[in-house]
Structure 1
């Protein structure tokens, strides 16, 4: 089995800075609007509704916190 790729925090940070610089340049040139860029960079699609039936239970599961 191949060795998993190793990525440092510095590499992640550099990539993030480069992405932000590209985004800023696209905005400057008018290739995208701020709203379009926000949509591209968003984890969830615009207008997506997140619903928690029992938010406390969700937190307990996620963080293994006892009530």
Structure 2
């Protein structure tokens, strides 16, 4: 797979984990951040769905 075809990281360079082990910048868990480079595109898309749900919850 070409690098341009990979699902991009949601990182926004605001890297700090909250008390729930979730990054306040990209809303990924510490484990998701660590595993990101070895995930398949399907796994990354799943994480992005989790990220969207966490972000929405955070905005409420």
Higher relative contact order (CA 8 A, sep 6+): 2
Scaled to the shorter chain, the TM-score interval is 0.3 to 0.5
Q: Tell me the TM-score normalized by structure 2.
A: 0.34
- Return the structure number with greater helix share: 1
Higher alpha-carbon Rg? 1
